[in-house]
Amino acid sequence: MFSSKRLTLWNRARICKAKPIAKIYRSQLPLLTLRVDQAPLLAIDLEMTGLDAHRDHILSIGWVPINRGAIDTEGAQHWLIKTDREVGDSATIHGITDSQRATATDKKQVMGRFLNACRGRLLLFHHAPLDLAFIDRSCRIAFNSGFRPALIDTLAAERKRLARHTDSIGQGALRLAACRERYGLPSYSGHNALADALATAELFLAQVSADGDSPVSRYLL
């Protein structure tokens, strides 16, 4: 099973024409055989104006690295991204106002830094498909290449774990806050990309605390 994942990634690295992205794929190859508590990871969260990667925009992105089973806040970063569109209604959800956007950074610049941060790490999301769709879209525009790195999804991992214990998973049981509560993790403010990335990283540490010596491939999406 895990050799096939490795092969896929190796193939993607060969095919990919965008250098920064290919570099990420290659850097991830040796990570796939590590123990889950030893793998370097980058926990990521995005805030968007909506759910449609083709119509909506990324407002902000936050990330924080995990090294040998410990979150390093020194590597934590939080970026507001410039958009042409007005923030509108989503401002009430994300707490980012149009005036704050004045301090935002150009999207291409942020994406460059983001891809740098990804190198040598497996990516970690809570509900990866949504965030990944937006990053993928951005990469297609900027580098003319999709973005499909090796990644772990704490939501998928939790669904798998719950499915082993219960017949049906209740509504809302897989939300980040609900998952954290099951592990006795403290409540957090939420709705800030960095806070959510950190909350995701902590959830992951709790999830793997029971089986740190299993291979990381067990958790790959």
Partner 1 sequence: MSSGELTDIQRFLSQASPFAELGDELLAMVSGNLQIIYRRRGSPIALDQRLYLVRSGAVELRNQDGTLIDQIGPGDGFGPRALVDHNGCDSAQCSEDSLLYLLADGLFEKLCELNKPFRRFFTVPHQSRIRLAVANRGDTLSLTAKVGSLLQRSPVTIDSSASIRSAAERMSEQRLSSMLVCDNGRLVGMFTDSDLRRRVVAAGLDTQQPVAAVMSPTPITVNADSFVFEAIVTMSQHNIHHIPVLDNSGQLAGLITTTDLIRAQRSQPVFLVGEVFKAQSRDKLAEIASAVPDLFARLVEADGRAGDISRLLTVVSDAITQRLLQLGEQQLGAAPVAYAWLGFGSQGREDQNISSDQDNALLLADNYCDEQHGDYFAQLTAFVCDGLDSCGYVYCPGGIMAMNSQWRMTASDWQRQFRRWINQPEPKAVMHTSIFFDLRVVAGAAELAQPLQQTILHGAAENRIFLAHLATNCLKHTPPLGFFRNLVVEGRGEHKDQLDLKHKGSIAITDLARLYALANRVSAINTSERLRDLADTGALNRKDVRNLLDANEFINTIRLQHQAQELARGQQPDNYVAPSTLSSLQRSHLKDAFHIIKRSQELIARNFLGGG
Least separation in angstroms between residue 188's CB and partner 1 is: 5
Closest CA to 22 of 90, 114, 119: 119
Pick the closer one to partner 1 by CB: 10 or 188: 188
Pick the closer one to partner 1 by CB: 172 or 186: 186
Pick the closer one to partner 1 by CB: 68 or 160: 68
Tokens of 65: 């690295």
Pick the closer one to partner 1 by CB: 132 or 201: 201
| Alpha-carbon dihedral angle through residues 211, 212, 218, 219, given to the nearest 10 degrees | 100
Residue ranges that bind partner 1, judged by CB under 8 A: 69-74, 76-79, 105, 183-186, 188-189, 192, 194-195, 198, 201-202, 205-206, 209-210
Least separation in angstroms between residue 161's CB and partner 1 is: 15
Tokens of 145: 């290449």
Closest CA to 105 of 83, 136, 77: 83
Query: Quick one: 127 exposed, middle or buried, by C-beta within 10 A (0-12, 13-18, 19+)?
Result: middle
Which helix (H) or strand (E) covers residue 117, if one does? Answer: helix 107-118
Least separation in angstroms between residue 179's CB and partner 1 is: 13
Closest CA to 148 of 156, 136, 137, 130: 136
Pick the closer one to partner 1 by CB: 72 or 98: 72
Least separation in angstroms between residue 171's CB and partner 1 is: 26
Pick the closer one to partner 1 by CB: 34 or 206: 206
Least separation in angstroms between residue 129's CB and partner 1 is: 25
Which helix (H) or strand (E) covers residue 122, if one does? Answer: strand 122-125
Beta strand 41-48 with 77-80: parallel, antiparallel or unpaired?
Answer: unpaired
Least separation in angstroms between residue 12's CB and partner 1 is: 30
